[in-house]
Amino acid sequence: MKIVVCIKQVPDTTDVKINPETNTLVREGVASITNPFDEFAIEEGLRTREKYGGEVHVITMGPPQAIEVLKNALAVGCDKVYLVSDRAFAGADTLATAYAVSKTIEHIGGADLIFCGKQAIDGDTAQVGPGVATRLGIPQLTYVCKVREINVEQKKVVVERMMENGREVVESSLPALITVVKDINEPRLPSLLGIKRAAKAQIPTLSAKDINADENRLGLKGSPTWVTKVFTPEARGGGEVLKGELTDVVPLLINKLMDSKFIK
């Protein structure tokens, strides 16, 4: 099994700051970590390798300092890592990011199974995983909380998806892309040997040219989304609490809903 895990370096805070003039994320002066959902994706990649054999390859698209998240991936036991970095990628929205990540996966020879996080804690769109699957023309299994079984010979995977009101069991053909939620596993800690190995590792960097990407589809050039305004909505005031016996409160509630035209 060739397993690819896509990870993103994010600011170590959910209190993301926005440059009010450019409406882009302020990354300077903020410590960076592996996107927490991607830690679960890495762990699931490793567990899949342990159960079914193969290799775990990890990719991240980002600036040179994103190498740190790849070192962490090596330290927990991933086999190969790739930094996808080029000025041409700067200012990418989710469309351009998904394109660059999918071209990278093609460049490294494809995958039987791709793991992504459910979403990144800074951009928060949850679009990149599905976007990568679409560009590669493979099925996407989102919000996965359990990989039940993989049949390597028959090229099939059965997963449980976390839904609002329960779990959905889905079977898919392989190759496929899975996005994971935090309930899927408990990520392991790196070993001392792993940390030493990661510290010494030479990490390959891939440019736009290396992954054979069309520069018009990358970075700002390839990003049709524009952020026109970023703001925090005003806090809503507390609602009204109806007190009393149920037999009195229910007709009162119905009248209020009718007055507000929520029901007829």
Binding site for ligand FAD (CB under 6 A): 6-8, 24-25, 35, 37-38, 41, 59-62, 91-94, 97, 101, 116-117, 119-120, 122-129, 225, 227
- Closest CB 260 distance from ligand FAD, rounded Å: 34
Q: Which is nearer to ligand FAD, 102 or 150 (CB)?
A: 102
- Closest CB 170 distance from ligand FAD, rounded Å: 19
Q: Which three-class secondary structure state does DSSP give residue 37?
A: helix
Q: Which is nearer to ligand FAD, 193 or 227 (CB)?
A: 227
CA 93-97-103 angle, 5° bins: 150
- Closest CB 199 distance from ligand FAD, rounded Å: 22
Q: Which is nearer to ligand FAD, 1 or 70 (CB)?
A: 70
- Closest CB 221 distance from ligand FAD, rounded Å: 12
- Closest CB 81 distance from ligand FAD, rounded Å: 11
Task: Tell me the C-alpha to C-alpha distance, in Å, between residue 5 and each of 14, 169, 199, 239.
Answer: 23, 22, 20, 44
What is the rounded CA–CA span in Å between residue 213 and residue 107? 10
| Residue least distant from ligand FAD (Cβ) | 123
Handedness of CA 244, 246, 252, 256 (dihedral sign): positive
Q: Which is nearer to ligand FAD, 156 or 221 (CB)?
A: 221
What is the rounded CA–CA span in Å between residue 2 and residue 87? 29
Q: Which is nearer to ligand FAD, 77 or 131 (CB)?
A: 131
- Cβ–Cβ under 8 Å, residues 108 and 59: yes
Q: Residue 113 has which token pair?
A: 């199974």
- Closest CB 61 distance from ligand FAD, rounded Å: 4
The DSSP line for 42-92 is HHHHHHHHHHH--EEEEEEES-GGGHHHHHHHHHTT-SEEEEE--GGGTT-
- Cβ–Cβ under 8 Å, residues 224 and 96: no
Q: Which is nearer to ligand FAD, 1 or 92 (CB)?
A: 92
Count of residues for the chain? 264
